Amino acid sequence: KNEVEQSPQNLTAQEGEFITINCSYSVGISALHWLQQHPGGGIVSLFMLSSGKKKHGRLIATINIQEKHSSLHITASHPRDSAVYICAVRLRNQFYFGTGTSLTVIP
Amino acid sequence: DVKVTQSSRYLVKRTGEKVFLECVQDMDHENMFWYRQDPGLGLRLIYFSYDVKMKEKGDIPEGYSVSREKKERFSLILESASTNQTSMYLCASSLWAQGNTIYFGEGSWLTVV
């Protein structure tokens, strides 16, 4: 049973396109996280959300608590955005992760 | 700047060897985690610790043990490495209190031959 489902699994976009990655979860949570993993390993936290919307540069994250759904948007995508994007939820002291969305942005 | 440091980036070990993966965080975090990441399976929790000398099994603890003797250090031990333990291992930490994010190390690529 997967507490966190992400879609799509893989995504290829042309530079400049608007990108949306979706995340649905099935448990009551204290916060939802969007993480980014570049080839080679290290994972960094992009956003932590418990309600509403957050924006950082070209990245926007939204969450709908009632629907248990979050989206990560990238505006004016660029090849350096190519990475795996992972949705994670925190429930008490545990984190549950989606399997990730592999994004490739082609110049 | 917050930091989670994993001792080895790339390791190649033989089947049956004992393997130690070390992780140190400098943020005074209570929670520390060891995950394993495999293609198509995402991050799977091996063990986590919420305090010194405390540990709890995650989803896939078989074949692994952990040690947390000091708050800043969390070690993962493969008692007798096997080829199916070839994987990327990620250490992470977070504060106990909710509303705080999780921080990851750079990862350790382990190959067991």
Q: Which residues of B touch A (CB under 8 A)?
A: 31, 33, 40-43, 45, 48, 50, 88, 90, 92, 94, 96, 98-107, 109
Contact A42 B105 (CB under 8 A): yes
How high is the pLDDT of residue B92?
95
How high is the pLDDT of residue B39?
85
What's the rounded Cα separation, in Å, for the pair B106 and B89? 9
Closest Cα to residue A65, out of A34, A32, A98, A20?
Answer: A32
pLDDT digits (tens, 9 = 90+) for B64-98: 999 999 999 999 999 999 999 999 999 999 887 76
Which of B50, B102, B106, B108 is the mutation pick for testing A, counting most A CBs within 10 A?
Answer: B102
Closest Cα to residue A97, out of B104, B92, B4, B45?
Answer: B45
Tell me: pLDDT of B1 over 80.
Answer: no
How high is the pLDDT of residue B113?
97
How high is the pLDDT of residue B2?
67
SS3 of chain A: helix, strand, coil, percent, to 5: 5, 60, 35
Is A50 within 8 Å of chain B by CB? Answer: yes
Measured distance between the N- and C-terminal CA atoms of chain B, rounded to whole angstroms: 37
pLDDT category of residue B99 using cuts at 50, 70 and 90: low
Out of A43, A93, A94, name the one closest to residue B96 (CB).
A93
pLDDT digits (tens, 9 = 90+) for B9-56: 999 999 999 999 999 999 999 999 999 999 888 899 999 999 999 999
Report which residue type is found at B37: Q
How high is the pLDDT of residue A1?
58
Q: Which residues of chain A have pLDDT under 50?
A: none
- The DSSP 8-state label assigned to residue A18 in this structure reads -
Is A28 within 8 Å of chain B by CB? Answer: no
How high is the pLDDT of residue A94?
83
How high is the pLDDT of residue A29?
79
Chain A residues lying within 8 Å of B102, measured CB to CB:
33, 45, 88, 90, 95
